[in-house]
Amino acid sequence: MTNPMQVIDYITNAFEQSTRRHNLFADAIARVRWAQDFDADGERYYIHDSGLTFTTPSLDPFKVTRDWPAEFTYPDFSGTVDVFGRTTRY
């Protein structure tokens, strides 16, 4: 996957379809080819080759909350979208 929108859709769909028995969210994150990943500030950061940045407080979708969501920052830093579909523009 090279297109940032494909990555966002893929991970968001996996987040929405995860169950307590099948963590599709963690599986999807593991399947994406990331240029870099690291832990900082209590979150896990993933940097895609396209420049898309994904951060999540947990790989367990049931621990990701609306108060501390997993979110994507667009490559041009124009805004973010979280796994709940909320967007922010800068």
* Below-50 pLDDT ranges, the chain: none
Predicted local confidence at residue 1, as pLDDT: 75
Backbone phi, then psi, for 6, in 5-degree steps? -65, -40
Predicted local confidence at residue 46, as pLDDT: 98
Predicted local confidence at residue 20, as pLDDT: 95
Beta bridge partners of 17: none
- Full-model pTM: 0.92
Predicted local confidence at residue 16, as pLDDT: 96
Predicted local confidence at residue 62, as pLDDT: 95
66 within 8 A of 60, measured Cβ to Cβ: no
Cα distance between residue 61 and residue 72, in whole Å: 15
Predicted local confidence at residue 90, as pLDDT: 83
Domain ranges in the chain are 4-89
